[in-house]
């Protein structure tokens, strides 16, 4: 658009303002009001000068566009894209908040465990191999009641899961600060069906080491079909 034309339009618009002091006071009032009503707990509130200046510019632009429509220089439809630009520059809509992803969420659990499993296949014992502690394996594939599971010793899984969840950075990990987080997460995951649970509770026992210590060996057993999907 020609600069001379823009200057002429601005000069015309300014000349149309009948009471400049009153207009300026009203613009400032609108700008201040755009910040909302201050919390009643505070005795006084001072608006950041830079933010106030930006709000004033926004209201000035809105006043200018209103003047063009009021004097029928441009129609509301013609002004719509300009109003959208002004809104986008001075008062853009806040970005949509993405749902918080928590370490105890079943979907997050499966996502992290799929990645972890793929990255540590060499440390996972096959279905027909013995789980020897001295070899320091991470987990083992085992079949229980006709279904295949990836089975971790409970304490080993807890250590690894907390590590990978924190390393992901985008996962909310306050769960791990709870005193009984290991019981809490197994309860939540068990209810969702992403780990195997005992008939009378959530912690599952299994003879992972093949030495008859089932009653004292707590494990985390993940259905292999969920890790493949």
Domain boundaries, the chain: 3-90, 106-228
- Give long-range contacts, CB 8 A cutoff, 24+ apart: 115-119: 115/164, 116/160, 116/161, 116/164, 117/150, 117/227
pLDDT at position 1 is: 54
Residue 51 φ/ψ, nearest 5 degrees: -70, -35
Where is pLDDT greater, at 162 or 16?
Answer: 162
Residue 207 φ/ψ, nearest 5 degrees: -80, 70
pTM of the model as a whole = 0.62
The Cα–Cα gap between 74 and 68 comes to: 6
- Percent of the chain, pLDDT > 90? 66
Residue 38: pLDDT band (50, 70, 90) is: confident
pLDDT at position 4 is: 76
Q: Flag the least confident range among 37-51, 106-120, 184-198, 209-223.
A: 37-51
Residue 2 pLDDT exceeds 70:
no
Residue 64 pLDDT exceeds 80:
yes
Tokens at residue 159, please? Answer: 């250590």
Decide: helix, strand or coil at residue 161.
helix
* Highest mean pLDDT pick, 24-38, 93-107, 167-181: 167-181
Averaged confidence pLDDT in the chain: 90
- Percent of the chain, pLDDT > 70? 99
Tokens at residue 81, please? Answer: 């894209």
Neighbouring CB atoms inside 10 A of 118's CB total 9
The string of DSSP letters for 170-190 reads SSB-GGGGSTTHHHHHHHHHH
pLDDT at position 117 is: 95
Rg (CA), the chain: 32
The Cα–Cα gap between 151 and 143 comes to: 10
Neighbouring CB atoms inside 10 A of 59's CB total 19
Residue 205 pLDDT exceeds 70:
yes
Q: Flag the least confident range among 37-41, 120-124, 134-138, 201-205.
A: 37-41
What would the mean pLDDT of 101-106 be, rounded to a whole number? 95
> Tens digits of per-residue pLDDT, 147-168?
999 999 999 999 999 999 999 9
């Amino acid at each position: 658009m020609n600069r001379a034309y823009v200057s002429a339009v601005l000069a015309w618009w300014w000349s149309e303002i009948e009471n400049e002091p009153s207009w300026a006071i009203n613009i400032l009032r609108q700008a201040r009001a755009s910040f909302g009503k201050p919390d009643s707990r505070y005795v006084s509130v001072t608006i950041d000068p830079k933010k106030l200046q930006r709000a004033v510019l926004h209201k000035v632009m809105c006043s200018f566009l209103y003047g063009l429509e009021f004097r029928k220089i441009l129609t509301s439809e013609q002004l719509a894209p300009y109003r959208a630009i002004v809104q986008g520059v001075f008062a853009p809509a806040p970005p949509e908040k993405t749902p918080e992803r928590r370490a105890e969420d079943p979907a997050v659990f499966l996502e992290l465990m799929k990645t972890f499993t793929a990255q540590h296949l060499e440390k996972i014992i096959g279905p027909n191999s013995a789980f020897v502690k001295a070899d320091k394996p991470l987990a083992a594939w085992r079949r229980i009641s006709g279904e295949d599971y990836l089975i971790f010793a409970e304490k080993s899984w807890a250590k690894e899961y907390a590590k990978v969840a924190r390393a992901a950075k985008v996962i909310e990990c306050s769960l791990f600060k709870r005193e009984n987080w290991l019981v809490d997460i197994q309860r939540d995951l068990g209810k969702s069906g992403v780990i195997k649970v005992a008939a009378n509770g959530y912690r599952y026992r299994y003879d992972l080491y093949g030495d008859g210590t089932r009653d004292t060996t707590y494990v985390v057993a993940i259905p292999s079909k969920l890790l493949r999907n």
